[in-house]
Chain A
Amino acid sequence: MRRKVTRREALVTGLASVGGFALRYPRSLPPTYGSLLRMGDNLTYAAHRALLPQQALVKEYGEADITSFPAIGTTNPGSSGTPERARDYSRMESASFAEWTLSVEGLVGRPRTFSLAELRQLPSRTQITRHTCEEGWAAIAQWTGVPMGAILDAVGILPAARFVVSYSYDDFANSIDMLDAFHPQTILAYRMNGRDLSVPHGAPLRLRVERQLGYKGLKYLQRLVVTNEFDDGGTKGDLANGWAWYTGI
């Protein structure tokens, strides 16, 4: 005979799973602006954060697996975007980005800038990972860079910190939560396949967010801002342009 689940058992199991879900549910969700689509995105985001192991690593491939890699979106900020930005970028590129700096600011104890030379001196991570484009294609490349967590530790984030917003020279912005920011494979990459990052792929520094789609990996990084409230860069960010903010999918 089939055993019936008692009411008490059902209640206890139910409460335990709701409690477990609530504990790991993200404290700040992106705004939905009343859109059903954004509510669905938030459901996926909350479910991933509640149900998936928080620091699981994506698959890393071997050197023989490296594939051809299209360069899309901005392929040279020196010839697109606002004239002022284009001029700045071209000038820095012609000097091998010696003058380029990454500014790290917001809710941090010691806001500062990093030159490319300073970033190269920090402990680095090299990984061969798959870039999964929202369009449907994928490419495998080797990336070398500084884990974003190491940069955040160096500037000392304040306890209220929830998101890291990235701004780029080609006038885009993007943000990720602290879980992805401190994920070991989230790196600020300055090398691709063993060579300095080329201009089409985001020179001198680009973000890699391996557990999300390719478009979260902003190219041509200029500035990181740590915030306590949701901010994806406003008009330059994903949501204002009709794209999902969380793309762990």
Chain B
Amino acid sequence: MLVSGPFMHAHAVWVRVSHWIVTAGVLTLGYTGFVILMAHPRLYWGDAGNDLTPALIELPISRNYQHGGWAAATPLFEDRAAGPVSANRTYNIFNKNGWGRSLHFLAAWIVVLSSGVYFYLGVARGHFRADIWPARAAIVAPQSSADRQVRRDYSLQQKWVYSLVVFVAAPVIALTGLTMSPAVTAAFPLLLRAFGGYESARTVHFFAFVAVALFLIVHVVMVVRSGFRRQIRSMTVGV
């Protein structure tokens, strides 16, 4: 919560603690997510997709990119000429991602649990309503920049971006992550329907994180340009 006043601009302790836990978690998720994606840098739409089916997009991020290490394909059904096929892999791909997956889930546990506390307190303490949510009144009558200087609120654009990250991108990433779990979707098949299948969920998961990564870049640039020392102090010691 922003404590408003002419000389004060302090983040509450729980905002500062959750900010840095989530920062460490999201950086770990981004890095391990990249390593996981390196094993199969192809994205699809629908329930299933693999090297023998067309990709939506291929990312040139590892030696597995367009590797083509497959023996001649044989049809899976004799009576379907243009039907599904099988082929043997003839090439050892990059696939040292076991650690990456386990670290990804460890970080996901930490981010999800601390975000849970953040969401609870965000609602309970009025932080979302007061500081994050782009309120109707503000849209109708934007505060003057001079007014903001005194009150040190977030601008309307900032509130929109923070709201999109907190209330849209983060839940979408968490839900598409769960949709990639065969055990979770056995219990909640609605997830597969909601995102259009396992591979669609994987694709949405990727692009939603790309959006968050772009936000992070802009966020850091703004922190640097608006007084790096002051901003870091405000998000750590809180003054």
Q: Which A residues fall within an 8 A CB radius of B?
A: 36-41, 43-44, 48, 52-53, 56-59, 61, 65-72, 75, 130, 132-141, 192-194, 198, 200-201, 210-213, 241-244, 248-249
Contacts and interface: CB of A to CB of B under 8 A. Distances in A.
Given A37-B102, A66-B84, A243-B98, 12 more contacts: A39-B106, A40-B105, A57-B186, A58-B182, A61-B47, A69-B76, A130-B182, A136-B202, A137-B42, A137-B49, A137-B51, A249-B101
Nearest to B51: A70
Interface residues of B, number: 47
B103 interface: yes
Contact of B97 (A38, A134, A212): A134
B187 interface: yes
A39 B102 CA distance: 9
B157 interface: no
B70 interface: yes
B48 A130 contact: yes
A5 to B, nearest CB: 12
B89 A211 contact: no
Contact of B53 (A36, A67, A71, A213): A67
Counting from the closest, the 8 A-B pairs by CB-CB distance are A248-B183, A40-B106, A136-B40, A68-B52, A137-B50, A37-B102, A249-B181, A138-B48
B123 to A, nearest CB: 12
A13 to B, nearest CB: 15
B109 interface: yes
Contacts of B109: 40, 43-44
A137 B40 contact: yes
A14 B82 CA distance: 58
A75 B182 contact: no
Given A38-B102, A136-B39, A200 B86 contact: yes
A36 B110 CA distance: 13
A58 B88 CA distance: 27
B198 A138 contact: yes
B105 A139 contact: no
B37 A244 contact: no
Given A41-B102, A193-B77, A201-B86, A69 B183 contact: no
A94 to B, nearest CB: 19
A249 B52 contact: no
Contact of A132 (B53, B98, B182): B182
A244 B102 contact: yes
Interface in B51-105: 51-53, 70, 73, 76-77, 84-89, 93, 95-99, 101-103, 105
Interface centre among A36, A137, A200 (most CB of B within 10 A): A137
Given A52-B187, A68-B84, A139-B50, A40 B102 contact: yes
19 contacts: A36-B106, A37-B99, A37-B102, A40-B103, A52-B184, A56-B187, A66-B84, A67-B53, A68-B50, A68-B53, A130-B48, A132-B180, A135-B95, A137-B42, A141-B76, A243-B98, A248-B184, A249-B182, A249-B184
A223 to B, nearest CB: 25
B47 A65 contact: yes
A71 B99 contact: no
Contact of B182 (A65, A141, A213): A213
A40 B108 CA distance: 10
B36 interface: yes
Interface string B181-195: 111111101001000
Contacts of A130: 47-48, 182, 198
B87 A249 contact: no
A139 B36 CA distance: 18
B131 interface: no
B48 A67 contact: yes
A211 B42 contact: no
A140 B186 contact: no
B198 A66 contact: no
Interface centre among B48, B93, B182, B187 (most CB of A within 10 A): B182
